Structure 1
């Protein structure tokens, strides 16, 4: 009886892990275009300095 419970618990664990992996892959493949677009947007914004922060000290010094 104890062996049967252990086998059922192991089987349930394998099913849960498999379901979680399948769900992760489904979400990843479903949102992949959006994730890539967002990643490119973030990389692009980090590579270029923002114009408002670089002009701010110049505008305040020109007023003096």
Structure 2
């Protein structure tokens, strides 16, 4: 393993951070909104699936109605 002194490490880190393509504010906002939309849709899907399975189990066990 190569030894690097702290000053060289900080220089290399700064160089690498400079190579990163950072998202714009608009890209970040759009991505955040899309995450919230997908979470909402997943929550609705799993709620409906849970209700259907609950109804089905209730029918099988004779506890429905």
Could you state the TM-score of these two structures normalised by the residue count of structure 2? 0.50
Cross-structure match for 2:4: none
Which is richer in helix? 1
Cross-structure match for 1:45: none
RMSD: 1.5
Cross-structure match for 1:25: 51
Aligned length: 37
Could you state the TM-score of these two structures normalised by the residue count of structure 1? 0.51
SS at match of 1:14: helix
What residue ranges of structure 1 are gaps of 5+ in the alignment?
Answer: 38-64
What residue ranges of structure 2 are gaps of 5+ in the alignment?
Answer: 1-26
Q: Which 4+ stretches in 1 moved above 4 angstroms?
A: none
Structure 2 residue 11 is the aligned partner of structure 1 residue 11: no
Structure 1 distance, partners of 2:35, 2:58, is 34
Relative contact order, CA 8 A, sep 6+: which one is greater? 2
